[in-house]
Amino acid sequence: MTPFLLVLSSPSGGGKTTIAKSLLQARDDLGYSVSATTRPARSGERDGVDYHFLTREAFLRRVEAGEFLEWATYGGNLYGTLRQEIERIFARGRTAVLDVEIEGARQLRASFPNSLHLFVLPPSAEVLVSRLTGRNSEPPAVLRERITRAADELAAVAEYDYAILNEDLVLAVAQVAAILDAEARRVSRQEGLTPFIDRLRRDVLAQAARIAGD
C-alpha cells in the first residue's frame, strides 16, 4: 500500500488527540507525527513525545530552512509538521497520523492530494467547553478565544472527507479504524496491485490455454 497521511482536525476540545492516541495504541500500521510548537508544555506533556517544544526563534529558523511541510499560528503560538517526522513514518511503511488545525490541514491537502482528512465533532457545546475547562491549563482569556475559534472551525467540516461524532470514545475510534481499513483498499492506494493483476491475468490465460489443449 502507498503510505498516506491521516489528518485529524477538530476544534480544540473536540477529542482528536485522544482518538489519535487510542488508535496508535491499538494498531502497529500507524505512526504519530509529533508536531513542533512554541506553546509551553502542559503538565504531563513530554518533549519529543507529545510535541517538539521549540522557542519561537528555533521554530522560525526551521521554517526558513524549509523543514516544515506546513505550519500555522494558533492562539498566538506556532505549530507545524516537520518533514522529517513524515519521512520517518513512511520509511517504516506506516500511515502517518497528524493532529492539525484547519489551516495546516489545507496546506497538507495541497501538497499531499491523496491524504485522508477526518473531522472530529464534539457532541455538544457543553461537552466541548467542559473538555476544555477540564484541562485546567488555560487562563480564561485563552479559553474564551479557543471556544470562539471553535465556532469558526466547525464551519470547515465541508472540506473534510469524513466527519466523526465523538460522543463515545470507543465507538469513535472504531469508526476511524473502519474508515482507515476501507481507504487502505482503495485501488489508487494499492501500489502493489498492478504487478499482482498482471501476474494473475497471465496465469488465468495460461489456465485457459491448458483447458483449450485438453
* Closest of 187, 167, 189, 170 to residue 178, by C-alpha: 170
Q: Residue 108 or residue 180: which is nearer to ligand 5GP going by CB? A: 108
Q: How many residues does the chain have?
A: 214
Q: Residue 65 or residue 211: which is nearer to ligand 5GP going by CB? A: 65
SS (H, E, C) 62-127: HHHCCCEEEEEEECCEEEEEEHHHHHHHHHCCCEEEEECCHHHHHHHHHHCCCCEEEEEECCCHHH
**Cβ neighbours of 97 (radius 10 Å):** 24
* Closest of 131, 100, 129, 119 to residue 159, by C-alpha: 119
Q: Which residues bind ligand 5GP (CB under 6 A)?
A: 12, 35, 39, 70, 72, 74, 79-81, 99-101, 103-104
Q: Residue 83 or residue 189: which is nearer to ligand 5GP going by CB? A: 83
- Coil/strand/helix, residue 10: coil
Q: Residue 39 or residue 189: which is nearer to ligand 5GP going by CB? A: 39
Q: Residue 138 or residue 189: which is nearer to ligand 5GP going by CB? A: 138
Distance CA 88, CA 96 (A): 9
Chain-centroid distance, C-alpha 126: 25
CB of 100 to ligand 5GP, least distance (A): 4
CB of 39 to ligand 5GP, least distance (A): 5
CB of 155 to ligand 5GP, least distance (A): 15
CB of 35 to ligand 5GP, least distance (A): 3
CB of 187 to ligand 5GP, least distance (A): 30
